[in-house]
């Protein structure tokens, strides 16, 4: 029976304001269902995490086997020691939650998958810095955002993976064609992270933990918005890490 059970993965949400029904407006905890569908297909049971006290990170992590840090707003520049020069709207609750969960995952050596804002939050949580705006007419991989969001979602560029990195082994390829739905990127990688993916122009698109005992993968693109058959290897590898972590701490296979 144990082999049929599913490990539980915490997935962060994005806080957005809803002023349709309440005065003052209330907050919504939002997440595209592409995240939960990808995790479900890979064999995990997702559990969404909305507002929480950072000091409760340990309580949350006691109940899950892995962490996905999803996309969302910009991380507040003050958290990596910069003035706001080009960052857009941030949310202190989302920032505090994500950083607390990432640091607790590191303490426990719990598997982490960072996606888009997730790679940026991981880098900031561990002491790194960000470029606040990378879109430019001179950068073919990161051109200015089009007005039509559908065109933005269709844009693709190349990511070159380091030959000996785990992502290259997972994908079985030295490069990927990925989407580009972001305007920020890692500038100074945090200590403890290894850069394993870049665009041809050098922009950082993937990092992994330098600690072999902490399975962390983080990518700047949105794999959950690409074809699942093409990206299933990433989610499957992450869920395999989650199962191994759960087994290592003596838990059942899942719920």
In SS3 terms, the chain reads as CHHHCCCEEEEECEEEEECCCCCCCEEEEECCHHHHHHHHHHCCEEEEECCCCHHHHHHHHCCCCEEEECCCCCCCHHHHCCCCCCCCCCCHHHHHHHHHHHHHHHHHCCCEEEECHHHHHHHHHCCCEEECCCCCCCCCCCCCCCCCHHHHHHCEEEEEECCCCHHHHHHCCCEEEEECCCCCEEEECCCCEEEEEECCCCCEEEEEECCCCCCEEEECCCHHHCCHHHHHHHHHHHHHHHHHHHHHCCCCCCC
So where are the chain's domains?
Answer: 2-248
Q: Of 104, 208, 224, 231, which is the active-site residue?
A: 224
224 counts as catalytic: yes
Catalytic residue among 104, 116, 141, 231: 116
Q: Specify the pLDDT at position 162.
A: 97
Q: Given 91, 142, 157, 222, which residue is catalytic?
A: 222
Q: What is the pLDDT of residue 16?
A: 86
Please tell me the pTM assigned to this model: 0.91
Is there a catalytic annotation at residue 116?
yes
Is domain 2-248 annotated with CATH 3.40.50.880?
Answer: yes
Predicted local confidence at residue 137, as pLDDT: 47
- Residue 26 falls in the annotated catalytic set: no
Residue 1 pLDDT > 50: no
């Amino acid at each position: 029976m144990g082999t049929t059970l599913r490990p539980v993965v915490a997935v962060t949400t994005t806080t957005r304001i809803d002023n349709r029904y309440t005065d003052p407006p209330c907050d919504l905890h939002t997440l595209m269902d592409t995240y939960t569908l990808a995790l479900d297909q890979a064999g995990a049971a997702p559990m969404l995490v909305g507002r929480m006290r950072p000091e409760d990170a340990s309580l949350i992590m006691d109940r899950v086997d892995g962490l996905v840090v999803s996309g969302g707003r910009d991380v507040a520049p003050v958290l990596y020691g910069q003035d706001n020069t080009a960052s857009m709207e941030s949310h202190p609750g989302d920032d505090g939650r994500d950083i607390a969960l990432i640091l607790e995952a590191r303490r426990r050596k719990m598997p982490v998958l960072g996606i888009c804002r997730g790679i940026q939050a991981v880098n900031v949580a561990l002491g790194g810095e960000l470029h606040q705006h990378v879109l430019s007419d001179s950068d073919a991989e990161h051109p200015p955002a089009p007005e039509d969001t559908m065109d933005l979602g269709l844009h693709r560029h190349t990511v070159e993976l380091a030959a000996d990195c785990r992502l290259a082994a997972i994908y079985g390829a030295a490069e990927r064609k990925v989407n580009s739905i972001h305007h920020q990127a890692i500038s100074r990688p945090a200590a403890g992270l290894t850069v394993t993916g870049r665009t041809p122009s050098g922009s950082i698109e993937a990092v992994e933990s330098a600690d072999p005992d902490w399975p962390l993968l983080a990518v700047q693109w949105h794999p959950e918005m690409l074809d699942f058959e093409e990206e299933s290897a990433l989610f499957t590898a992450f869920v395999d890490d989650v199962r191994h972590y759960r087994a290592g701490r003596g838990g059942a296979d899942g719920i």
